[in-house]
Structure formats: C-alpha cells, structure tokens
C-alpha cells in the first residue's frame, strides 16, 4: 500500500515515490511532471508548481514588458488580458513617439491600442486585419487619437478666437474649387491641407483639419469626385487601382499632411504623395494611427516622414 502524501513540497524522487517503487518510468515522470501518472494523476509536486509559476511569470513578462523589463524609452504595453475575448484581440506592440511628452501620452496610447481589434483572415486568408471601428466606439480613445495628432501639428502661433482660425481671407463663391486666400499673419510653417484617403482616412482627417484650421481634401477611388480631377494609377498586389483628387483643391507650395488609418506596404500613401507632388504641394508628413512595420511601408515613403501612434507586429 503506497502512502500518498496530501501535500508534496519536496523535490526528491525518493520522497515522491516509495523507495521500492522508484523505476525509470517514475523517474521520467518526476522529471517531466506533465506526464500523467497512475498514482498521482492530479497531484502537483514542487517541480510542477515551479514550472507553472515560471510559465505564468513569463506570460506576464511578454504581455507587459515595461513592467518586467523597464526600458526608459518604451511605452507601456496595452492591457490585453482584460480584452482577451473573441473575436481575437492580439496585443499590439507600441513604438515610442519620437517627440513630445511621451510620459503623458503613454496612458492614452495604451487605451487606444486596447480598443483596436484584429480580425484574422480578412479580407482574405492570411491577413490579420486591424479594425479601428472598435476604437470609434470608445469616445475617449477616439478623442485621444485626434488629440495626439492635433498636438503634433497644431501651430501654436495660429490665433484661435472662439474656435475661428485665422486662415481665411476672400470668401470664395461656389463656382470654383479654389480655397480662401491665406491670412497674412499665418505663420509660414502652418499646415494648410489635410488629405485623407477614402474611406477610413475620412474618419480621422476631418477632425484633425477642423482642430488645426486646415482644409480637408478627400482622395478618392475613380469616378467618385465630381468635376475636374487628376488621377494617379498605383500598383496593388494583383493589378492596379486609381486614386483621384480635385483640381484646385491644393495649391502649389501649400504645406500638406496625408492621413490614413493604417500604413501597410505604403502603396496607397505613395499614390497620394505623387498626386500632391504633381500639383506642387509640400508634403510635411504622413500620419497614420497604425503601422505594420514588417511590410516596410515607411521605407517606400522615401524622404517623406511618417508619424504613427501604434506599431503592430
């Protein structure tokens, strides 16, 4: 009759199995506690407890690196444990902001990132789709997203009186697409235009434009914009697509941002950049909520800087 201990916190095989029952098989089971055992099918010994604890700590460390491996430059990872429910949500690793007050923005980016969900195999198998619509359901996260962009691009020298920004001059009639002439005291480094790429760029671009007093210029699929347009053909994985912009929406020399929800390969943003350069605009930066760095979109932008809130591997 083998005496089975109720709690076994020793780590010697001789204390787990009676001496005359120490066999090669039992010893192997002792070393690898994950193997089921007839005598002790559910009992955990010290080794099993240690391994379980180590696995838990490792999992926590992976999901919260800033907590366990402090790096002065990194931003806190999102708390994905609270959101681990179907449809699947994966942690998005965070890239540090390259300027500005990082410590203040940490909490906001963590919240924003935790609201973005990932839909696997959309629009086709193998693609992990970053869905920002869940962020739009969280008014604080959406507002924080816009605030982060506005803080970067708002020229603090522009006087804002009761929300009316001084970028206006002659009031234009409906006949032309020409924008109002700039006010003389507007600083030269103000942003004139936000270009948003259809359709998710339409969600983020206009709120930023409204806050910084810039024009919003939609860039659309073919045959959507009425009137005179210029078109740019660009490559997709299979085949090509066309992006269009209104003639006269952007004037030569105007400082311009391009905004989209996400940059992947960068093909769409490059098409937008080409359209703007054809009319002589000065492209200050491309701004996206999410970057997929593995797809190397940033490199395709060439000399055009890219600013993102979240970098997702």
Of residues 72 and 139, the one with the C-beta less far from another protein: 139
Are 61 and 71 contacting, i.e. CB atoms less than 8 angstroms apart? no
Tokens, residue 128: 């992990």
Q: Which residues bind another protein (CB under 8 A)?
A: 87, 117, 119, 122-123, 129, 131, 133, 136-139, 142-143, 146, 163-165, 167-168, 171-180, 198-200, 202-204, 206-207, 209-210, 213-218, 220, 223-228, 246, 249
Provide, rounded to whole angstroms, the least separation between the CB of residue 285 and another protein: 19
Of residues 4 and 124, the one with the C-beta less far from another protein: 124
Of residues 75 and 158, the one with the C-beta less far from another protein: 158
* Rounded-to-integer distance, Cα 259 and Cα 272, Å: 10
What is the arrangement of strands in the sheet containing 255-263, beginning at the earlier edge strand?
215-219, 193-197, 255-263, 282-291, 306-311
Provide, rounded to whole angstroms, the least separation between the CB of residue 110 and another protein: 20
Provide, rounded to whole angstroms, the least separation between the CB of residue 259 and another protein: 12
* Rounded-to-integer distance, Cα 207 and Cα 29, Å: 62
∠ CA 269-275-278, nearest 5°, is: 140
Taking phi first (over 0 means left), then psi (-120 to 50 degrees means alpha), and beta for anything else, what does residue 261 get?
A: alpha
Provide, rounded to whole angstroms, the least separation between the CB of residue 244 and another protein: 11
Provide, rounded to whole angstroms, the least separation between the CB of residue 159 and another protein: 14
Judged on CB neighbours under 10 Å (0-12, 13-18, 19+), 190 is buried
Of residues 9 and 129, the one with the C-beta less far from another protein: 129
Of residues 33 and 196, the one with the C-beta less far from another protein: 196
Provide, rounded to whole angstroms, the least separation between the CB of residue 36 and another protein: 39
Provide, rounded to whole angstroms, the least separation between the CB of residue 217 and another protein: 7
* Rounded-to-integer distance, Cα 10 and Cα 86, Å: 41
* Rounded-to-integer distance, Cα 14 and Cα 45, Å: 13
Question: What is the enclosing helix (H) or strand (E) of 155?
Answer: none
Of residues 1 and 174, the one with the C-beta less far from another protein: 174
Of residues 49 and 146, the one with the C-beta less far from another protein: 146
Under DSSP, is residue 204 helix (H, G, I), strand (E, B) or coil?
Answer: helix
């Amino acid at each position: 009759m083998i005496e089975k201990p109720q709690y076994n916190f020793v780590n010697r095989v001789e204390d787990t199995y009676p001496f005359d029952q120490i066999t090669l098989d039992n010893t192997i089971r002792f070393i690898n506690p994950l193997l089921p055992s007839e005598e002790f099918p559910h009992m955990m010994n010290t080794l099993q407890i240690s391994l379980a604890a180590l696995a838990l700590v490792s999992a926590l460390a992976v999901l919260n690196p800033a907590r366990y491996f402090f790096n002065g430059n990194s931003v806190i990872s999102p708390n994905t444990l609270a959101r681990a429910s179907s449809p699947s949500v994966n942690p998005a690793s965070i890239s540090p902001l390259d300027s500005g007050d990082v410590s203040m923005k940490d909490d906001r980016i963590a919240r924003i990132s935790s609201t973005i969900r990932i839909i696997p195999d959309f629009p086709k198998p193998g693609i992990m789709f970053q869905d920002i619509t869940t962020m739009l359901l969280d008014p604080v996260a959406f507002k924080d997203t816009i605030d982060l962009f506005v803080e970067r691009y708002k020229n603090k020298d522009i006087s804002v009186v009761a929300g009316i920004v001084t970028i206006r001059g002659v009031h234009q009639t409906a006949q032309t697409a020409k924008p109002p002439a700039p006010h003389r005291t507007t600083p030269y480094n103000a942003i004139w235009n936000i270009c948003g790429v259809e359709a998710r760029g339409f969600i983020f671009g206009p709120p930023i434009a409204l806050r910084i007093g810039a024009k919003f210029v939609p860039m659309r699929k073919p045959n959507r914009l009425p009137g005179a347009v210029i078109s740019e053909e660009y490559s997709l994985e299979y085949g090509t697509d066309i992006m269009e912009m209104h003639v006269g929406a952007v004037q030569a020399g105007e400082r311009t941002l391009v905004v989209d929800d996400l940059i992947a390969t960068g093909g769409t943003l490059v098409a937008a950049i080409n359209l703007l350069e054809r009319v002589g605009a000065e492209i200050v930066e491309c701004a996206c909520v999410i970057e997929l760095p593995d797809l190397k979109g940033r490199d395709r932008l060439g000399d055009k800087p890219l600013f993102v809130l979240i970098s997702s591997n």
